[in-house]
Structures are given as structure tokens and as C-alpha cells.
Amino acid sequence: MASQLTAPVGAALAAEVEDLLGSAEPEGIYRDTRECTGILLLAGLLLLSPPTPRPKSVR
């Protein structure tokens, strides 16, 4: 038996439903292996990544 839908609760729940249905994309989480950052230096000669240290790009 469905419980009484009181106005404020019903509206909040309906809004939550719409949010879950048509949610915006979450922020991207970008990860790269740490393994190669040393190799990328000299071994990365000729355009395989510049020599400056890269900031972490996790947002």
C-alpha cells in the first residue's frame, strides 16, 4: 500500500528521480600510469613527451 505522499516529500523525491534519470555527466577522473614518467624523458626523444614535469591531471 503506497504511503501518503505529502507535498514536500513528494516533490523532493520527484526531483531526485528526475536527477537520477537525466543526470549530468560526472567530472572526468583521469589517471595515467606513474611507471613511465622516467622513461618518457630521454627515451621519449623526438616528440614523445616534453621534458617538463607534468602536473597531475586528476580533477
Q: Which residue has the cell 580533477?
A: 59
31 scored as a contact of another protein (CB under 8 A) = yes
Long-range CB contact pairs, 30-36, < 8 A, 24+? 30/57, 30/58, 30/59, 31/58, 32/57
User: Does 51 interact with another protein (rule: CB under 8 A)?
Assistant: yes
Q: How far is the CB of 30 from another protein (least distance, A)?
A: 6
> What residues line the site for another protein (CB under 8 A)?
1-3, 5-6, 8-10, 12-14, 16-18, 20-23, 25-26, 28-33, 36, 39-52, 54-55, 57
